[in-house]
Structure 1
Amino acid sequence: MEINNQNLFNKVIELLVKARQKVSQTINNTMATAYFEIGKMIVEEEQQGKERAEYGKQILNELSEKLVSEFGKGFSKRNLEQMRQFYLTYSIAQTVSAQLSKGQKLSDEFKNIHIF
């Protein structure tokens, strides 16, 4: 069967392309949120209010082994370290952003920091 109406065909293609883009974007956003939350859980477990580097290394090794066995590749110790860093980086950015939105100036944030 040949489609005689090229306009219909183009509209259907456009709709499907947009739908696929939306699905891809939703998946990316959902995974970024999941990685952020995983990073947060790692930081909270590692630190428990303190610095516990050796315990943290053990947590990452064990968590990596269990996640790789359950979900396959993508959860190496290095990836988990990156998820932790993702959380640390963007939680700080969110804090600064929230403070700025309350009227605080960025310069106030760094007023007492001396470089030299």
Structure 2
Amino acid sequence: MLVNQSVIADIQAIIHDAKDKAITLVDHERTLMYWQIGQRIFEEEQQGKDRADYGNYLTKFIADQLEPKYGSGFSKRQIELFRQFYRTFPMRIHCIRN
């Protein structure tokens, strides 16, 4: 049986393209997740009367709850960075999908 050798190259191109798209989508969704977490923290802080103290307590509390389950990407410092990310870019990040 004679097989057209371009079939392998075509399949490899499909695989590489899918992997590249998956990485891009994961990065995009992760960025949205960080922004949304920051937004939620910021909104919660705005309800408090003593924002500075509550904010420090809140980020520590959130980290204490999430870090054991989700790892160091949800440490107190990371939680503070999520909040800072939202405060730096408060306009809604829109999702563009193909």
Distance, in Å, in 1 between the alignment partners of 2:24 and 2:55 is 32
Equivalent residue runs for 1:26-37 within 5 Å: 26-37=25-36
Query: 2:82 aligned with 1:83, yes or no?
Result: yes
Distance, in Å, in 2 between the alignment partners of 1:30 and 1:13 is 26
Unaligned runs of 5+ residues in structure 1 are 96-116
Identity rate of aligned residues, in percent?
35
RMSD (Å) for aligned C-alpha atoms:
2.0
Query: 2:58 aligned with 1:59, yes or no?
Result: yes
Distance, in Å, in 2 between the alignment partners of 1:82 and 1:4 is 54
Unaligned runs of 5+ residues in structure 2 are 93-98
Q: 1:22 to 1:51 in 2, by over 3 A?
A: farther
Equivalent residue runs for 1:91-110 within 5 Å: 91=90, 94=91
- The alignment of Structure 1 onto Structure 2 pairs a total of residues equal to 91
Residue type matched to 1:33 in 2?
Answer: L
Residue type matched to 2:43 in 1?
Answer: E
- Output the TM-score relative to the length of structure 2: 0.82
Is the deviation greater in 47-56 or in 15-24?
47-56
Please report how far the alpha carbon of residue 85 of structure 1 lies from its aligned counterpart in structure 2 after TM superposition: 1.0
What does residue 96 of structure 2 align with?
Answer: none
Larger radius of gyration: 1
Distance, in Å, in 2 between the alignment partners of 1:13 and 1:48 is 53
Distance, in Å, in 1 between the alignment partners of 2:11 and 2:30 is 29
Please report how far the alpha carbon of residue 31 of structure 1 lies from its aligned counterpart in structure 2 after TM superposition: 1.1
Greater relative CO (CA pairs within 8 A, separation 6+): 2
